[in-house]
Amino acid sequence: MTENNERFLSYKEAAAEALLMAMEKDEKVFLIGEGADNIEGIGGHILPAIKKFGPSRIIDAPISENGITGFAIGAALDGMRPVLLHHRNDFMLLAMDQMMNQAAVLRYASGGRHRIPLTILSLVARRPGEGVQHSHSLQSIFAHFPGIKVGMPACAVDAKGMLLSAIFSDDPTIILEHRHPTLYDKKEYVPKQYYETPFNSKIVTLGQDITIVTVSINLLNALGAWRELIADGIFPEIIDLRWLRPLDIGLIVRSVQKTGRLLVVDTGWKMYGVSSEIIAQVCENAYNLKFPPRRITIPDAPCPASQFLEKYYHPSAQDIVKTVREML
């Protein structure tokens, strides 16, 4: 097996490698979370760090979401670089006070004297039967607050690089992974060395007919749609948003000025969401729209547990193909 073959890692393996590398690089990095030292980790991806560093730097915390967020902030105020783990992002709502009233504002409130280098790592736990709470995809709420960074990796390379960027950023940063197996277990070439993903968006396919901005796993849906559309001579420019905050609106506006059309595909809800923000900012900055911007999101309802209903719930490649055709 060649070196390159060995470097084909799944999204979760790439994230695991990032955590291990961060802990090797800086002894101030530690991880705290409920069940964090579980032998299987979350889907196994904390396992390498547990094996190497054990309970002194992987802290299995009581079920105290708001409290452990505050403990991590306190540790950050004392010079550490904590990584806080929530197995599912719905648990983060119990920690809104500590995340948003505290971590997000303490740099500002201290006149810049304090920095809170806190990483909050969590997952959108979409799988059949996860139901009305664990399936939540809550990024829009988190990205509402100034003072915090929010990222959603959509490939293994970024699962590693964005986590490293988060851990070594001096501001509180939320990384929401996506646990659906089509993404979580997808393997790709991941560089061996240490690298950080910049805080910007990425053009995945160049095109001139329409700009498709995708959030998280929707990159895979857009790439599925792309294969079908190019066969018909339609060339979408796909942008993987990566970071919701800071928002790389310049890249998106430049693309829309070229294509004249914008479609945003989000894993969250439509109202007051990421898609609303992107479309609003594009409308404020781009003057040559050939068609009203559109968006594809989950419907305005909680996610049903039943697999027979859930199959209608999430955006698909076919939804994108259909919408793009309507817009051309």
110 binds another protein (CB under 8 A): yes
Rounded to whole angstroms, the Cα distance separating 264 from 124 reads 19
Distances from the Cα of 167 to the Cαs of 14, 35, 252, in angstroms?
15, 20, 26
Query: 196 by DSSP, 3-state: which?
Result: coil
Cβ distance to another protein smaller for residue 69 or 221: 69
Question: Quick one: 68 or 156, whose CB is closer to another protein?
Answer: 68
Q: Which distant-in-sequence residues (6+ apart) come within 8 Å of 288 by Cβ? A: 257, 260
User: Interface with another protein includes 83 (CB under 8 A)?
Assistant: no
Phi and psi (nearest 5°) for 241?
Answer: -60, -40
Per-residue binding letters, 26-65, with another protein (x by CB under 8 A): ----x-------------------------xx-x-xx-x-
Q: What residues numbered 211-230 form the site for another protein, per CB under 8 A?
A: none
Angle at 254 between CA 205 and CA 226, to 5 degrees: 20
Among 38, 66, 208, 276, binds another protein (CB under 8 A): 66
Least gap, CB of 73 to another protein (angstroms): 6
Per-residue binding letters, 249-268, with another protein (x by CB under 8 A): --------------------
Number of residues that bind another protein (CB under 8 A): 48
Which window, 7-15, 79-87, 201-209, 289-297, contacts another protein (CB under 8 A)? 79-87
CB of 109 to another protein, least distance (A): 4
Active-site positions read: 65, 134
Q: Is 170 in the site for another protein (CB under 8 A)?
A: yes
Among 39, 111, 308, 312, which residue sits at the site for another protein (rule: CB under 8 A)? 111
Q: Which amino acid is at 39?
A: I
Retrieve residue 159's tokens: 């699962």
- Residue position matching structure tokens 């950080």: 196
Our separate counts of H helices and E strands in the chain read 15, 14
Instruction: Indicate whether 200 belongs to the interface with another protein (CB under 8 A).
Output: no
- Residue selected from 172, 207, 236, 315 as contacting another protein according to rule CB under 8 A: 172
Angstrom CA distances, 105 to 112, 113, 226, stand at 10, 12, 41
In terms of residues, how long is the chain?
328
- Residue 287 tokens read as 């003057």
Which range in 130-138, 164-172, 206-214, 260-268 contacts another protein by CB under 8 A? Answer: 164-172
How far apart are CB 171 and another protein at their closest, in Å? Answer: 4
Q: Counting contacts by CB under 8 A, is residue 69 touching another protein? A: yes
Q: In what order do the strands lie in the sheet with 236-240?
A: 202-205, 236-240, 210-214, 262-265, 294-296
Measured distance CA(280)–CA(104) in Å, rounded: 24
142, two tokens: 């988190």
For residue 75, state whether it binds another protein (rule: CB under 8 A): yes
Look at residue 16 and give its three-state secondary structure: helix
Residue 74 binds another protein, judged by CB under 8 A? yes
Binding residues vs another protein (CB under 8 A): 30, 56-57, 59, 61-62, 64, 66-80, 82, 97-98, 101-102, 104, 106-115, 145-149, 170-172, 245-246
